[in-house]
Chains A and B, each alone.
Chain A
Amino acid sequence: MASASETMTVAKPQATGMRERAWYPYLLIAPSMITLVVVSLAPFIYAIYLSFHEAKFGRVRDFIGFDNYITLLTDARFWNSIGVATTFVFIAVPIEFMLGLIGALVLNQNVRGRSILIPLLFMPTMMAPIVVGLLWKIMLAGSWGFFSYNVLERFNILGETSIFASPELALYALIFVDIWQWTPFMMLAFFAGLQALPLGPYRAAAVDGANPVQMFFHITLPMMTPLLAVIGLLRFIDAFKVFDTIYILTNGGPGISTETPSILANKMTFEFWNIGEASALAVLVWIAFFAFCSIFYQVAKKRLNAF
């Protein structure tokens, strides 16, 4: 494995004094690994077990094989939720990405007072998602919400009703909220990347008389590509599991127009009490996430030399 050879070079000098204690590192990781097996692996295995059983209203009955999966995969509501999440992610993340990159380039100019501005810019990303939801529930409330009244109503985009009551527009409102919440993260992560770039190539290019646009496309962008890919992938994975903001803003409504797999799984469990099918959904989502995670891990490790 790649990481093995990497860490070898670090660990080798120590090996003289530590060879006789091969169990020492395992002793150090044991408490963490045991805890994680209990709180992470065990629930996952239990979810797999549940997904193969008829389980309703908290009572686990017969083994029914793949029935839960078949019911789920033939359910239009499931495919609707996949569609909603896909639309959400594929609109929100690219916009966050572009705005973040532009913001990072602006921040990388000689902006003063960064030590005050950067923390302030970080607020939307760091605050509780439930509070983000609350903020926009207030701003976009029907008739009296600040944004609803002063922007949407004044420019005749919507009447007195809340945007979250519109089956066509509710999803876009959620995308807008996600962009507000996560653009700062993209921006500041990209900015950190820009700050770490070496100056040498820029000096050489300046000597050759390159203009800023050429420098951006021929120096900045190529050097930033691995970082952009890793951050984009991370955000992509995270955006699929958004729950809190959607829960407080629409809870999947109106109808099922903003129902993502997360919201659907939650409803299946705590509203319909159809635990078997909800578990099947959870397992499928879990497997998809694990695949994305391993891609993220490989890209970050190989291309960015992180981890």
Chain B
Amino acid sequence: MAEASSRPEGSRGLFWTTLVIVYAAIMLFPIFWMASMMVKPNEAMFARPTQWLFVPTLDHFSYVIEQGFHWSLLTSFVLCTVSTALVVIIGTPAAYAFARFEMKGKDDLFLFILGSRMAPPVCLVIPFYLIYAKVGLLDSFLGLTLAYMTFNLSFYVWVLRSFCRDLPVELEEAAALEGWSKVQIFRRVVFPLLRNGIVATSVLCFIFAWNEFLFAFMLGGKSVTTLPVSIPKLITSQGVRWGEMAVVGMTALLPVLAVVFVLQRHIVRGLTLGAVKG
């Protein structure tokens, strides 16, 4: 690793490490606090001054399961998996083609893809809602899968293209000289080298879909309720169910926690749309 601005010195290293750990602990405190609220009885929750010790309870979990929240979990999982799989199937060849071949109006196509990715979801949800109301796609699985394509397909093509550009072109040339067909080259040369990029990019797509709120909220409904949408539903007319919200919130957080550890370096690349190589 390039230590650009300092020499390795033991004691100073310890100082900076401690500093970062303290910073991280303060920043992540709200997450610990929410985690504790999952098992916190209501009396302790609203106590003034803040009560640190309490007898844990599982009431919030049982309420959340009574309300059929595990179905939201399943819906979220299936929806995100299906839409991500579709994105990978449709998007991979496009990313490869954009990285390797000359095309007319490529710059304009790029701007179109980038624009699709960056468009504010609120702008999209209005026409989507009206079109879906007409064709009967509101509150349907297919409808949401399609809507998720707007930001995820454009994201996938854009970022995977930057991974494709990192591959050495010589291997493909050699294979072409051997007389391999285009499909063979793609399957046996490009795909194995690109596998890490595909995994990283598609996992990010999954997380974006997993975290998505507005589309799921407006285009979904009683039969298709995703996890993020089930959170504001716990703000009921009889009051806010804080503990239950904490349970759902932490459930939504767990896959993200797993992903940040596994993807590490690729997250920066994904979030900067490939502008920074991470």
Contact = CB atoms under 8 A, between A and B. Distances in A.
Interface in A262-307: 262, 265-266, 269-270, 275, 278-279, 282-283, 285-286, 289-290, 292-294, 296-297, 300, 304, 306-307
B70 interface: no
Contacts of B260: 119-120, 122-123, 126
A231 B6 contact: no
Interface in A1-31: 1-4, 7-8, 10-11, 13-14, 17-18, 21, 24-26, 28-29, 31
A119 B260 CA distance: 5
A49 B127 CA distance: 10
B228 A130 contact: yes
Nearest to B106: A3
B277 A192 contact: yes
22 contacts: A11-B100, A24-B182, A31-B90, A35-B153, A40-B115, A43-B128, A43-B150, A44-B127, A105-B5, A108-B5, A120-B260, A126-B267, A130-B228, A188-B268, A189-B271, A197-B2, A241-B121, A247-B214, A262-B122, A265-B123, A278-B126, A306-B275
A108 B12 CA distance: 12
A240 interface: yes
Nearest to B218: A270
A13 B102 CA distance: 12
B17 interface: yes
Interface in A228-244: 230-231, 234, 237-238, 240-241, 243-244
Contact of B19 (A17, A106, A150): A106
Contact of A130 (B91, B207, B232): B232
A115 interface: yes
Given A107-B20, A144-B45, A32 B157 contact: yes
Interface residues of B, number: 113
A248 interface: yes
Contacts of B55: none
A106 B8 CA distance: 14
Interface of B: prevailing SS = helix
Given A46-B131, A123-B31, 16 more contacts: A1-B106, A24-B182, A32-B91, A39-B147, A43-B150, A106-B20, A111-B20, A117-B20, A126-B207, A130-B252, A139-B30, A144-B47, A241-B121, A243-B121, A247-B214, A289-B123
A136 interface: yes
Nearest to B169: A10
B78 interface: no
Contacts of A306: 162, 274-276
Contact of B2 (A43, A199, A275): A199
B273 A234 contact: yes
A260 B226 CA distance: 25
B54 to A, nearest CB: 13
Contacts of A289: 115, 118-120, 123
Contacts of A98: none
Nearest to A216: B5
Nearest to A268: B126
B176 A29 contact: no
B210 interface: yes
Interface of A: 1-4, 7-8, 10-11, 13-14, 17-18, 21, 24-26, 28-29, 31-33, 35-36, 38-44, 46-47, 50, 58, 103, 105-113, 115, 117-131, 134-136, 138-139, 141, 143-144, 146, 149-150, 180, 184-185, 188-189, 192-199, 202, 212, 215-216, 220, 227, 230-231, 234, 237-238, 240-241, 243-244, 247-248, 261-262, 265-266, 269-270, 275, 278-279, 282-283, 285-286, 289-290, 292-294, 296-297, 300, 304, 306-307
A248 B256 contact: no
Nearest to A266: B122
B246 interface: yes
B119 A286 contact: yes
B149 A35 contact: yes
The secondary-structure label for the interface of chain A is helix
B48 interface: yes
Contacts of B48: 143-144, 149
Interface of B: 1-6, 8-9, 12-13, 16-17, 19-21, 23-24, 27-28, 30-31, 33-34, 37, 45-50, 90-91, 93-94, 96-98, 100-103, 106-107, 109-116, 118-131, 133, 146-147, 149-150, 153-154, 157, 162, 169, 172-173, 176-177, 182, 207, 210-214, 218, 228, 231-232, 242, 245-246, 249, 252-253, 256-257, 259-261, 264-265, 267-268, 271-278
Nearest to A227: B276
Contacts of B169: 10, 13-14
B256 A126 contact: yes
Contacts of A24: 97, 101, 182
Greatest chain A CB density within 10 A among B97, B109, B115 is at B115
